[in-house]
């Protein structure tokens, strides 16, 4: 059985005023059906770009090389119209800031229905509405039948992210990409959302790619981890091994930099800029 997602030698290049810039450089990884992968790195490491590349959502100024195969089909070789049919249907994505990621002018119900109807033909309004309510219930939004007609600003941050998850799951995708889903949320709510993602995975068997700069978040959910820096994967390993026995100095530095409650009071260890796998790029 081929892997659900195969990324081979992915390179994303932006054309800038100072010449071409590779924000992702030769990245490769695979994701099996139902598995979970964490992509970890600092800002600018290329982790978000990777997810956009997989979804085919790169801005027009970017060019892509390499292979991205979903269930054996190379997405990079497909025309946009075909990719669009997969996008939101077989692979879905949720983003960091749920408030700005939802259109303030439309009800959440409408936005969930929209996601569903984009990929199913012959769906009546009533059927779509039922789907929306069910999706909201699945992510534990109370009083879903009434709140489906509410607007995004009427929800709290955590609830909004649940709405985004509901929206993404309404089409029962094989792959869910979550780009910094908890970064904009309170710590307590973070845990709830992570739990929800775990639950969803268990119940639906959806594969998950979780992108974060926060190691703690990744360690909770991911079975495998890719550590990125300056567009390059510096280390890839099953989560357990990575966290207990980090091999690359950068990974070690990242882990070291996380303050722990039992640390002695000293200086915060910053990631040393001199540790560099690729030539210096600030």
Partner 1 sequence: MVRFLATRLAGMVGVLFLVVLFTYAIFFALSPDPAVQICGKNCTPELIDQIRTNLGLDRPFYEQFLGFLSGLFVGSTYGTGANAIDCAAPCLGYSFQTGQPVLEMFEQRFGVSATLAVGAAVLWLLMGVTGGLVAAIKRGTWFDRAATGAALGGVSIPNYVLALVLQYVLVVKLGWLPFPQAVPFGDDPGQWFLNFVMPWLVLAFTYASMYQRLTRANVVDTLDENFVRTARAKGLAPGLVWRRHALRPALTPVVTLFGMDFAGLLGGAIIIETVFGLNGVGKMAADSITKNDQPVIMGVTLVAAFLVIVGNVIVDIVYTTIDPRVRIGARA
Minimum separation from the CB atom of position 22 to partner 1 (A): 22
Q: What residues numbered 63-82 form the site for partner 1, per CB under 8 A?
A: none
55 binds partner 1 (CB under 8 A): yes
If binding is defined by CB under 8 A, does position 206 make contact with partner 1? no
Closest CA to 110 of 133, 88, 87: 133
Instruction: Give the rounded distance of the alpha carbon of 47 from its chain centre.
Output: 9
| DSSP structural state of residue 35 | -
Query: Does residue 193 contact residue 7 with C-beta atoms inside 8 Å?
Result: no
Phi/psi of residue 214, nearest 5 degrees: -95, 110
Q: Is 167 in the site for partner 1 (CB under 8 A)?
A: yes
Residue 92 touching partner 1 (CB under 8 A)? yes
Residue 229 as a binder of partner 1 (CB under 8 A): the answer is: no
Report d(CA 142, CA 51) in Å as an integer.
Answer: 31
d(CA 156, CA 186): 11
Determine which residue in the list 2, 15, 63, 100 makes contact with partner 1, applying CB under 8 A. Answer: 100
Site string for partner 1, 108-147 (x = CB under 8 A): ------xx--xx----------------------------
In the bound state with partner 1, the residue whose beta carbon lies nearer, of 155 and 250, is: 155
User: Would you say 2 or 154 has its CB closer to partner 1?
Assistant: 154
Dihedral over Cα of 167, 173, 179, 183: its sign: positive
101 binds partner 1 (CB under 8 A): yes
């Amino acid at each position: 059985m081929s892997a659900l997602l195969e990324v081979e030698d992915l390179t994303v290049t932006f054309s800038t005023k100072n010449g071409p810039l590779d924000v992702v450089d030769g990245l490769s990884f695979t994701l099996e059906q139902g598995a979970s992968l964490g992509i970890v790195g600092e800002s600018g490491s290329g982790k978000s770009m990777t997810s956009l590349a997989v979804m085919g959502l790169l801005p027009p100024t970017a060019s892509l090389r390499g292979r991205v195969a979903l269930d054996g089909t190379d997405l990079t070789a497909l025309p946009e119209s075909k990719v669009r049919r997969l996008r939101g249907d077989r692979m879905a994505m949720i983003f960091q800031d749920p408030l700005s990621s939802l259109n303030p002018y439309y009800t959440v119900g409408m936005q969930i229905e929209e996601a569903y109807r984009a990929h199913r033909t012959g769906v009546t309004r009533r059927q779509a509405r039922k789907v929306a309510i069910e999706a909201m219930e699945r992510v534990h939004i109370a009083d879903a039948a009434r709140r489906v007609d509410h607007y995004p600003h009427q929800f709290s941050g955590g609830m909004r992210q649940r709405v985004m998850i509901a929206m993404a799951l309404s089409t029962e995708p094989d792959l869910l990409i979550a780009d910094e889903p908890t970064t904009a949320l309170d710590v307590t709510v973070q845990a709830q959302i992570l739990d929800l993602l775990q639950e969803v995975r268990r119940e639906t068997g959806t594969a998950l790619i979780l992108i974060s700069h926060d190691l703690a978040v990744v360690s909770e959910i991911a079975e495998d981890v890719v550590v990125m820096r300056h567009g390059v994967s510096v280390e890839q390993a099953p989560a357990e091994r990575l966290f207990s026995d980090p091999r690359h100095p950068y990974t070690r530095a990242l882990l070291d930099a996380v303050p722990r409650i039992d640390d002695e009071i000293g200086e915060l260890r910053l990631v040393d800029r001199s540790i560099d796998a690729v030539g210096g790029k600030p």
